[in-house]
Structure 1
Amino acid sequence: MTRGNQRDNDRAKAQKKAAASKGKNTQSGSQYQKSKEDAAAIMREKQRKADEKRAAEAAGGGKK
């Protein structure tokens, strides 16, 4: 039954390695900051469009 134990140990080792590498940031500081700014700009644009839509529905009485 040696092989079964070895399989379990290898599986546990692989899971530990995958969990450790999952959280690492592979971008440099400036790249990370730029990606955060890009994502924030996209979200601001989406919010602006949603606000405009909400305002248009309120002014137009909810026409579709």
Structure 2
Amino acid sequence: MLENLSGWELLAGFAVLIVLVFAALYGVFYLAMRAALRRDKAGRDATGRDRGTGRAERRR
């Protein structure tokens, strides 16, 4: 299948693959940063514990 593609077509295909991989990595990083910023703004992590003391605090 690859033998009937020219060099430019192969290069374009690999470029598209690389762009897709970087887009997926960016999406994962974006979601992780969004969760971290939301956690920082609340002052608590995802388990409901306060960052400073580690004690669970009731959510209001």
Confirm or deny that 1:46 pairs with 2:28.
yes
Unpaired segments ≥5 residues, structure 2: 1-8, 47-60
Name the residue aligned to 1:22: none
CA distance in 1, matches of 2:11, 2:25: 21
Name the residue aligned to 2:44: 62
TM-score, normalised with respect to structure 1: 0.53
CA distance in 2, matches of 1:47, 1:63: 18
The list of structure 1 runs, each at least 4 consecutive aligned residues, that deviate by more than 6 angstroms after superposition, is none
Larger Rg: 1
> Once superposed, what is the RMSD of the aligned Cα atoms?
1.6
TM-score, normalised with respect to structure 2: 0.56
Higher helix share: 1
Structure with larger RCO (C-alpha < 8 A, sep 6+)? 2
State the AA in 2 paired with 1:47: F
CA distance in 1, matches of 2:45, 2:18: 36
Aligned residues: 38
Map residues 1-64 of structure 1 onto 2, 5 A cutoff: 28-64=10-46
